[in-house]
Structure 1
Amino acid sequence: MATQAVTHTQADDGIELAPIPSSSSRKSITSIDRPGRTLSGDSSPSDPSDPPNGTSRKLSRLDTARLVSALLCFITAGINDATLGPLIPYLQKHYAIGPGLVAIVYIPSFLGWCIAGVLQTHLFHYAGQGGVLLIGAILQLASNIIRACAPVYGLFAFSFFLAGAGIALQDSQANSYVAELPHAHNWLGVIHSGYGLGCLVAPLIATSVASNTPHWNFTYLVIIALNLPNVALVGLCFRDSISLPFLRKKATQPIAQSTLTQCTTGVADGTQPLTESKNKKANSLLLAALKDRAVWQLSLFYFLHLGGTISLSGWVVEFLVEVRKGDLTQMGYVPVGFNAGLTLSRLLLPPLTHRWGEKLMVSIYMAISTVFLLVFWLVPNIVANAVALSIIGFFLGPVFATGVSVATKLIAKERVSGSLALIFVLGQAGGSLFPFLTGVIAGRAGVAVLQPIALGLIVASGVVWVMLPKVEVKRD
């Protein structure tokens, strides 16, 4: 019978003798590194979202509830982003402004994304994942309450700062959480289809309210009703990962003596204040992300990609009304086709994309989109433009989520959350800068500039995508 070594401790310490695992038992130990992700020494590094050793881990009830919450985060983000486009003609009339001034709202949105991105890592360490998600949901709710009041244009524009910050916080944390689930490529497609769904219903809501009532701002009352469940569901599903200071004071669980000593003295391991330790860890992760070449390559990709897609979806109604001479009450529904394609493809294409290689398939999708962008530009027919726009939406749909999946494979796992925050901030810089520039140029040269701008950005993002490091194909 084999014997086991034991650790020798003094009896006066009140510590039980514990056996040291044998070499064979140590090999079988599985470490839980992050919530929702189990790692073992035999797991394949090719796809961190796949269960280890070929086994399958089913989603728990908590995983499922949090997945639904993440889906709702993306639905509300899509509604926020897609509401502005159909309302632009009404904003111009209400505030007596041109396209250049309307485009100003993209600047505070970008600033909100920037500030949220810089603070994201620190907020995560202080408030927890659930706390960051909850703050993001509350900021979005506040932004829509302001818009519903139809305030002066400066305050209306400021509301986009709150929305941008809120979406940035929720976007990064929801992506990080879902990217750690088994078969994450499928679940990422599902939650990103939620964004497409939000973009799908937003023009329907905005056009219906604005064209049938004298109060375009009542659109945001409907959106407030959709934001409230987002706040409630995040608070409920992620409550055990919310560590906001005012909630910590209410903790009732017993505290170990060593932990109590750290809390009262503010010292961890007797050498360093806990707050300084958290700050140093957050800063080190942020600096490591800034030094990662893959982070900058993906940031440039999203900078161009979001710049092209948001410019296209944001100004297409104005383009169809002014250039194609369409009826305003009908053209507001055209983005529905684009967003329907976006939603459908995010549900249907992820398995195919994962099977045949993410880099290859996204390159094909973007090539097809380029062809139909040329159709949208060169064929002066509203029906042909609407069909082309729907096809473009279908093939651009899975690109965003696939980029997130690729990022989790190119970036060290301990830096994924902070790196995604940085990538999305820089990506949103393009999503704010280029729609703004499109509006400014359109104010002088006409909104027909939309087509060459959108086409150039999509082509440039495709070139950057091809230049990304190789990702191993795993056909499971």
Structure 2
Amino acid sequence: MSTTVTETSPAIELTQLDSKGQSTYRLSPQTAERLPGNSSGSTHTVSIVEDALQQATEGTQKEFQRKELVQLSALCWGAFLIGWNDATLGPLIPRIQEVYGVGFTVVSMIFVVACIGFCVGALANAYFTDRIPFGKILVLASCLQVIGYAIQSAAPPFPLFVITFAINGVALGIHIAQSNGYVAALNDHTKMGVLHASYGTGAFCSPLVATQFAQLDRWSFHFLTSLGLTLSVIVIDTLVFKFMSQDDCLVHIGRDPGEKSTNENSSNVNQFMGIKAVHVLAAFLLIYVGTEVTIGGWMVTYIIEERGGGPSAGYISSGFWGGLAVGRIALLWVNKKIGEHRVIYLYSLLTIGLQIIIWFVPSLIGGALAVSFVGFLMGPYYPIAMNHAGKILPRWLLTASIGWIAGIGQAGSAILPFVSGAFASRFGIGSLQPFLVVMMVGMAGLWALVPKQVVRRD
């Protein structure tokens, strides 16, 4: 930044040159005289001018911070809806089985179809990231969700009901990818934690509402609530991001849009597909997201059938998601103290221990509390993985790479619950606990394979 000062009889002119352009401020001589510490000497005048310029710069920075907060709040509301969607099925699965007369394996087809949607969404995000502006693709994804929820709310025949989860899967895959990529570009671990705490908050609230709808004749009207939330996301994203590109949105809050690729002969997809770290992180999140959704989805059925819980057992799912939301904020200081890479191993050891307690101790209350603590300790996994991706991946590939990682990770929310349902159909719902323990051990193993160093790719 350079500053030039020109004294003229009518006014003192300040010209601020920076990366965002040129801003000019004018002070009258009378105003300068009234400023504290002024005298007739030119040295004091220059000092006053510099103070005025500093105040103007501070005002600009505050405005940038305010705009950044507005953008982050909009993305957090979208993350709330994603968490709401993921936690909806837990309390509704027993009712869906009752209404459509299907068993564990058949009802698990919901997760298979959703998985296909998430994978398509991840691929679509990688393709459209550089072709459709950030603000516009967020709105288009939410419009797909409106279609899906509208059909679900009518409780259509089971095959059509299942297909709607593919529509929502595509939309969620795109929305998750774009949100994570944008916040990762801000390079702020706290903001990433807040974004994913919003996801956990939505997942906490959803079972509270879904449990009530599950006991009503019009159980499918729960999806009208989801539809209303989606419409609010569309309105907010339109007003905040105004169909702008990600680079324009970053400049709008005073951020550097970042470096660009020097390789014009290869697409972003081809470039990030050749990076091992992308696929290891995607596999890690696939198991992580699958494990958390399996706990939030099937644990209610497990508690009802194995621990004698009643219809209110759906609130246990809220306890898990609530713990997850709190953990993503409350454990930020622990992550910083121990180190984000090492702390995953500590959390893994503790969650495996708690899961074994749920497995072998036949206590309804004890199991419910342990489930909440599992959620609390698993909460930081996802934001830590996203922060790590932001550290080691090339900046110009960040949105496309994180989109792929998040999309494949979200596919885990379909794959693992389906596998759990298949095992429950064959061996009984008691098979849920050993399955979860194995997945938690697998997560720790995959995290050990994640590179710690920055990946270089021109």
When the two structures are superposed, what TM-score results if normalisation uses the length of structure 2?
0.80
| Structure 2 counterpart of 1:330, one-letter code | S
Q: In structure 2, what is the Cα distance between the partners aligned to 1:232 and 1:282?
A: 38
| Structure 2 counterpart of 1:138, one-letter code | C
The correspondence for 1:287, drawn from 270, 274, 282, is 270
Partner of 2:38: none
Q: In structure 1, what is the Cα distance between the partners aligned to 2:387 and 2:61?
A: 19
Partner of 2:7: none
Task: Spell out the pairing of 1:164-243 with structure 2 (5 A cutoff).
Answer: 164-181=169-186, 184-211=188-215, 213-241=216-244
- Which runs of no fewer than 5 residues in structure 1 stay unpaired? 1-27, 33-55, 244-277
Structure 1 residues 283-330: Cα deviation after superposition (integer angstroms, max 9, x where no partner): 621111111011111112112212222212110111111121211x21
Structure 1 residues 157-180: Cα deviation after superposition (integer angstroms, max 9, x where no partner): 111111111111111111111122
Q: In structure 1, what is the Cα distance between the partners aligned to 2:219 and 2:391?
A: 44
Please state whether the residue corresponding to 2:132 is helix, strand or coil.
helix
- 2:133–2:244 contact (8 Å) kept in structure 1: yes
Q: In structure 1, what is the Cα distance between the partners aligned to 2:137 and 2:159?
A: 27
For structure 1, which segment, 349-358 or 433-442, has the greater mean C-alpha deviation from structure 2 after superposition?
349-358
- 1:76–1:195 contact (8 Å) kept in structure 2: yes
Q: In structure 2, what is the Cα distance between the partners aligned to 1:65 and 1:357?
A: 29
C-alpha change, 1:334 and 1:134, in structure 2 (3 Å) is: same
C-alpha change, 1:287 and 1:242, in structure 2 (3 Å) is: closer
Structure 1 residues 267-298: Cα deviation after superposition (integer angstroms, max 9, x where no partner): xxxxxxxxxxx9x9696211111110111111
- 1:304–1:461 contact (8 Å) kept in structure 2: yes
Structure 1 residues 66-102: Cα deviation after superposition (integer angstroms, max 9, x where no partner): 1111101110001111011100110011001111111
| Structure 1 counterpart of 2:416, one-letter code | F
Instruction: Give 1:456 shift.
Output: 0.6
C-alpha change, 1:31 and 1:463, in structure 2 (3 Å) is: farther
Partner of 1:433: 415
Aligned residues: 384
Asked if 1:297 corresponds to 2:309, the answer is no
Q: CA RMSD in A?
A: 2.3
C-alpha change, 1:209 and 1:429, in structure 2 (3 Å) is: closer
Please state whether the residue corresponding to 1:375 is helix, strand or coil.
helix
Asked if 1:149 corresponds to 2:168, the answer is no
Please state whether the residue corresponding to 1:314 is helix, strand or coil.
helix
Instruction: Give 1:31 shift.
Output: 9.5
Partner of 2:72: 67
When the two structures are superposed, what TM-score results if normalisation uses the length of structure 1?
0.77
- 1:285–1:418 contact (8 Å) kept in structure 2: yes
Q: In structure 2, what is the Cα distance between the partners aligned to 1:455 and 1:418?
A: 32
C-alpha change, 1:31 and 1:469, in structure 2 (3 Å) is: farther
C-alpha change, 1:222 and 1:430, in structure 2 (3 Å) is: closer
Instruction: Give 1:426 shift.
Output: 2.4
Q: In structure 2, what is the Cα distance between the partners aligned to 1:348 and 1:429?
A: 27
C-alpha change, 1:220 and 1:409, in structure 2 (3 Å) is: same
Asked if 1:104 corresponds to 2:87, the answer is no
- 2:181–2:400 contact (8 Å) kept in structure 1: no
Structure 1 residues 382-420: Cα deviation after superposition (integer angstroms, max 9, x where no partner): 111101000000000011011000001111111111111
Instruction: Give 1:221 shift.
Output: 1.6
- Which runs of no fewer than 5 residues in structure 2 stay unpaired? 1-16, 22-59, 247-260
Q: In structure 2, what is the Cα distance between the partners aligned to 1:141 and 1:282?
A: 38
- 1:186–1:351 contact (8 Å) kept in structure 2: no
Instruction: Give 1:192 shift.
Output: 0.4
Asked if 1:400 corresponds to 2:382, the answer is yes
The correspondence for 2:298, drawn from 315, 318, 325, is 315
Q: In structure 2, what is the Cα distance between the partners aligned to 1:331 and 1:283?
A: 52
- 2:181–2:403 contact (8 Å) kept in structure 1: no
Q: Which runs of 4+ in 1 moved over 4 A?
A: 28-32, 56-59, 280-283
Instruction: Give 1:331 shift.
Output: 0.6
Partner of 2:435: 453
C-alpha change, 1:242 and 1:375, in structure 2 (3 Å) is: same
Q: In structure 1, what is the Cα distance between the partners aligned to 2:375 and 2:126?
A: 32
Partner of 1:136: 141
Q: Percent identity?
A: 29
Partner of 1:84: 89
| Structure 1 counterpart of 2:392, one-letter code | L
Instruction: Give 1:332 shift.
Output: 0.9
- 2:176–2:407 contact (8 Å) kept in structure 1: no
- 1:370–1:455 contact (8 Å) kept in structure 2: yes
Asked if 1:421 corresponds to 2:403, the answer is yes
Partner of 1:442: 424
Partner of 1:324: 307
